[in-house]
Amino acid sequence: MKNWEALQAECMDCRKCALAETRHNVVFGTGNPNAEVMFIGEGPGEQEDLKGEPFVGRAGKLLDDMLEIIDLDRSKIYITNMVKCRPPQNRDPLNVEQEACIGYLRNQVAIIRPKIIVCLGRIAAMKLIKEDFKITKEHGQWVEKAGVQMTAMYHPAALLRNPGWRPAAFEDLKSLQAKIKEICTRTY
């Protein structure tokens, strides 16, 4: 297994798929690389691609607001995506693109060793929890995989498009807050 700096350097130079041709920046992730809680989205959007950081556009602002509700901030967690380069027009990452990037994500998880992984949206949940994951039916449910507690929430961009899902998202946040209090040893 690589160390954090070597992994990040390799990822920044990646040319494993066609997304490398259209990206402005590789979006490796941000936050605490020793976090007990890790959030994983599907892929960078336009603002993320321009700034090189995940969740910095409108969806990122909503994510910050969601974290604030449960007394979390970016400095205490780690946030990344399934794919590290923006898919054109923010389309869902193709399987070949996900496969090209999955090694980076697996190494990030192996180095960080989080106790909790929160998948933001169905794409991440389908890759990390189960292939036929249904976000509208299974959001907020907890599963354990390899000793890690995992759940999925609506992606903040989906909440911007579907404000009626916000009450369910709030319940999922409260469930996350309870799980953090239950299994995390650091003060959040």
Q: Is 144 within a domain? A: yes
Rg (CA), the chain: 15
40's tokens: 């994983």
Domain that holds residue 32: 2-179
CA nearest to 51, candidates 74, 28, 31: 28
pTM, rounded to two decimals = 0.96
Per-residue pLDDT of 28-63, as tens digits, reads 999 999 999 999 999 999 999 999 999 999 999 999
| CATH number of residue 133's parent domain | 3.40.470.10
73-95 per-residue burial string, b: 16 or more CB within 10 A, e: under 16: ebebbbbbbbbbbbbeeeebbee
Q: Is 151 within a domain? A: yes
Domain count, the chain: 1
List the 148-153 sheet strands across, edge first: 30-31, 78-81, 37-41, 116-120, 148-153, 143-145
Q: Is 141 within a domain? A: yes
Per-residue pLDDT of 105-164, as tens digits, reads 999 999 999 999 999 999 999 999 999 999 999 999 999 999 999 999 999 999 999 999
Q: Is 185 within a domain? A: no
